[in-house]
Structure 1
Amino acid sequence: MSRILARFWDPTGKSHGGLPTYPWKMAPPHLLTLRQLTAEGLRPGGQGVQAQVLWRSRRYGAPGVRAAYLYDVRFALPKRHPSPRQRAALAKANQARRTCPVCTRDVGYVLPRHLGTCLDCGQEAAA
């Protein structure tokens, strides 16, 4: 194991804040990131962070050590899906955010809050 990988190898969590820590791509298969859980149609389900993956970042403007938090897939629950009533309420709210109060038309985008109207009505008011 290289020095860099050995630096982040701490499955007991003694030296990295009490969380088990693994190098990049060396975590056990039952530990997944939040994005990986979402891709499988799961959510953490109230469990806390179980472990972390650390790696050195060579990214411009953000050098240093980066972290990804891991959750146990065995405790994960299925994702929740909104009911038809909730979906209808969300659609109605989104429609209201796109309707200009001055010209009363659906402009196809969410109205800017600083104007409170569509861009066309905002330009007319400014002129």
Structure 2
Amino acid sequence: MPTTSLRYWDPEGEKFGIPTWPWGMGPDPEVMATERQLKARGLRPAGQAAAGQIGWRIRGGDRFANLFLVALAKKKRPMTPAMWASIRKALAARRVCPVCNTAKDYDISRKTGVCNDCPESGLEAAA
């Protein structure tokens, strides 16, 4: 086992407070899974606290991914028509220029804050 892996080897949770394993050496994915792994199975953590974590080092810093018990996970909630309508409304709002108040066929730049037809107004507002 490499020395860097030993840094995160704490299956009893004495060092980190919860059981911790190095990247690639975690528990069986059928028992504990990350949020992304749960999502891929159509599940969600359902408010449970993390039962463990995976640790790794990147660019000189420590990173951790929480692990949740698969047995306590619940099925993902389906999107309701109201949720879909809310998303459509939010996406449409990103296409309306606040200066000329016209709907465009592209998202308004977050950098300038205005459509491509109003570049002068966006530069003056940013200054």
- TM-score norm. by structure 2 comes to 0.74
Alpha-carbon distance in 2 for matches of 1:94, 1:71: 32
Q: Which residue of 2 aligns with 1:50?
A: 51
Residues 10 and 19, structure 2, Cα contact 8 Å, conserved in 1: yes
Q: Does structure 1 residue 94 correspond to structure 2 residue 91?
A: yes
Point out the more displaced range, 67-76 or 106-115.
106-115
Point out the more displaced range, 41-50 or 100-109.
100-109
What's the Cα RMSD here? Answer: 2.8
The structural deviation recorded for 1:54 is 2.0
5+ residue gaps in structure 1? Answer: none
**For residues 23 and 122 of structure 1, do their structure 2 counterparts lie closer, same or farther at Cα, with a shift above 3 Å needed?**
same
Alpha-carbon distance in 2 for matches of 1:35, 1:112: 28
Q: Which residue of 2 aligns with 1:37?
A: 38
Alpha-carbon distance in 2 for matches of 1:99, 1:91: 13
Aligned residues: 121
**For residues 42 and 114 of structure 1, do their structure 2 counterparts lie closer, same or farther at Cα, with a shift above 3 Å needed?**
same
Q: Residue type of the partner of 1:38?
A: K
Alpha-carbon distance in 1 for matches of 2:109, 2:49: 38
The structural deviation recorded for 1:97 is 2.7
Aligned partner (choices 81, 104, 107) of residue 106 of structure 1: 104
Please state whether the residue corresponding to 1:85 is helix, strand or coil. Answer: helix
Residues 21 and 55, structure 2, Cα contact 8 Å, conserved in 1: yes
